[in-house]
Amino acid sequence: MSSYLSLSGINKTYGNFTALGDVNLEVAKGEFVTFLGPSGSGKTTTLMIIAGFEKATRGAVTIGGTDLSDLDPHQRNIGIVFQNYGLFPHRTAAENVFFPLQMRGTKRGPGLRRAEEMLEMVGLAGFGHRYPKELSGGQQQRVALARALVFEPSLLLLDEPLGALDKNLREQMQIEIKRIQRALGVTTIFVTHDQTEAMSMSDRIVVFDKGAIEQAGAPLDIYHRPQTRFVAGFVGESNLVPARIEAEGVAQSPVLGRVAYLPEGQPQAAPGQEVTLMIRPEHMKLSRAPLDGRMNAPMRIETIVNYGDNALVIGRAGDTLLRVRVLGADVVILKEGEDCTLSWLPEAARLVTR
């Protein structure tokens, strides 16, 4: 991967508190990268250091080979959209979008024409004369996006821009932002704690925890091949159970019993090593009796949460609660309080060694 944005050894401390510790990341030109993690994990601090609103205690940020460390935010040619949009209430939509061009010396006539073009790009043709108070939340978000893109930035930073929108509008804007990003080819960093946003929008996801990058990879790699217990538990729903390796391809779990797994593509683990087994809820089945050709373990159903087309079944295997995703047609045969058999294929079991 040819690097365009580079973070090298980024550290950020506040007194004795380390907010970021040795963050290293390479982003390709035109890539859409999402910073994903819980509150306080360091993702927004990293974004603010890239933007220039925070100074790194140590390390360097470069774009296209240019070190940004000594440049003020307005000198970095970076477009930014925040959750609160930050539109000027006394300016029309077109004037809001024109503002960055005005600050760069563009004359009003050509600048407003360019602003109208950007509003059309984000689906707001004909809305340029309206003031922010006359626009919905989603429309205001589009104006903020157009304003961040109108001056053709080297990089676009989006700091949880969809957090204030309702579910349906948020999903629409996920599609729109990705469409616009692809059309313009602008390198984009998107910050969110919403896993669905990260999975649906990203070329690559960078998972943060406690001021460090836990894992960076394509969405499906992050989901199916988590490298740490934190990533396995944070991204998607997971059943995480302790186990000890007996031999290559075989582990013994106090929860699930003897478990066969496929060692290909898994982390290396020696006999006797303590590991965590991850099995996603959608990769498990429930039945009245053990199924041939599958791993089986007894489970008692405690709770069934119906979602219409599927249900989440929460049950207990020994002293451990496990979660199973069941298609709607199969839910009717299950009852809370019943004993049943939990089963899965060996390829569903993923080893997590750290």
Percent of the chain scored above 70 by pLDDT? 98
Helix (H, G, I), strand (E, B) or coil at 105: coil
pLDDT at 262: 87
- Nearest of 161, 191, 155 to residue 173 by alpha carbon: 161
> Residue with structure tokens 């729903």?
237
Q: Strand 3-14 vs strand 58-63: parallel, antiparallel, or unpaired?
A: antiparallel
Distance CA 61, CA 68 (A): 6
* pLDDT tens, residue by residue, 42-59: 999 999 999 999 999 999
- Residue the block writes with tokens 């053709």: 152
Gap between the Cα atoms of 56 and 46, Å rounded: 9
Question: Tell me, what's the pLDDT at 107?
Answer: 93
| pLDDT tens-place string over residues 309-348 | 788 899 999 889 999 998 866 666 778 888 989 999 998 9
pTM: 0.88
- Predicted local distance difference test score (pLDDT) of residue 164: 67
Cβ proximity of 211 and 41 under 8 Å: yes
Separation between Cα atoms, residue 202 and residue 217, nearest integer Å: 10
3-state secondary structure of 274: strand
Residue 172 binned pLDDT confidence (cut-offs 50, 70, 90): confident
Return the minimum-mean-pLDDT range out of 1-5, 243-247, 330-334.
330-334
DSSP string, 163-231: TTS-HHHHHHHHHHHHHHHHHHT--EEEEES-HHHHHHH-SEEEEEETTEEEEEE-HHHHHHS-SSHHH
- How many C-alpha atoms does 167 have within 13 Å on its Cβ side? 1
* pLDDT band at residue 133 under the 50/70/90 scheme: very high
CB atoms within 10 A of CB 218: 13
Contact status, residue 4 vs residue 185, Cβ threshold 8 Å: no
Domains of the chain: 3-229 (3.40.50.300), 237-352 (2.40.50.100)
Task: Write the DSSP string, 142-157.
Answer: HHHHHHHHTT--SEEE
